[in-house]
Amino acid sequence: MDEKTANRLQEILTDINLDGISARGKNELVRFCNTIQLTPRKSILAHCYQCLGYYNGMEGDRDCYNPVCPLYPYMPYSSQKAKPKKILSSEHLAKLRSGRSKEGSSRKYQLTIKAKKTRSPPKGYKHTLFERSLK
């Protein structure tokens, strides 16, 4: 890391300590400034915390109301939460539908009953003692 980047990260840490309130994203931004790698979700939390000025002066409603931002659906206080969309191709949908409609597609499990094996007593033991140990 070059000196310019290190100085900028130190400035961010100083600003957080002076102006930042305790909110979602604060710990993530501090960890980022201490050069700890973040997950994508934690990176989004840290970005929103920094973008909104460390939520300084914001009471209660912390939504930025910026639907133009590509991260807005993932913002921790967003009113428009991201809804995962699963897009399937038409070929994949056709395979799913055909697999469900086949009559022979269901697996039939067969129970095989094994004959119960009888054990004979070991050599040297009386027959009555061995039967008690089997119960």
Q: What is the pLDDT of residues 91-109, one digit of tens each?
A: 888 888 887 665 544 444 4
Q: Is residue 35 part of a domain?
A: yes
Residue whose C-alpha is closest to residue 30's, from 51, 9, 48: 9
Mean of pLDDT values over 48-77: 82
Are the C-beta atoms of 49 and 32 separated by less than 8 Å?
A: no
Give the chain's mean pLDDT. 76
User: How many Å from the N-terminal Cα to the C-terminal Cα in the chain?
Assistant: 74
Q: Is residue 57 part of a domain?
A: yes
- Please report which confidence band the pLDDT of residue 135 belongs to, taking 50, 70 and 90 as the band edges: low
Report residue 37 CA to chain centroid gap: 17
pLDDT at 82: 67
Secondary structure (3-state) at 113: coil
Q: Is residue 47 part of a domain?
A: yes
Q: Is residue 66 part of a domain?
A: yes
pLDDT at 68: 87
Q: Quick one: what percent of the chain has pLDDT higher than 90?
A: 9
Q: Is residue 28 part of a domain?
A: yes
Q: How many residues does the chain have?
A: 135
Q: Which helix (H) or strand (E) holds 92?
A: helix 90-101
Are the C-beta atoms of 26 and 16 separated by less than 8 Å?
A: yes
Both structure tokens of 87: 């897009």
**Per-residue pLDDT at 130 exceeds 60:** no
Determine if the pTM surpasses 0.75: no
**Per-residue pLDDT at 40 exceeds 80:** yes
Are the C-beta atoms of 59 and 51 separated by less than 8 Å?
A: no
Q: Is residue 89 part of a domain?
A: no
Least confident among 8-12, 33-37, 81-85, 90-94 = 81-85
- Could you give the number of structural domains in the chain? 1
Q: Is residue 127 part of a domain?
A: no
Distance (Å) of CA 71 to CA 25, 33, 57, 80, 94: 14, 20, 22, 11, 34
Cα–Cα distance measured from residue 68 to residue 79, given in angstroms and rounded to the nearest whole number: 14
Q: Is residue 61 part of a domain?
A: yes
Segments forming the whole domain that contains residue 30: 3-74
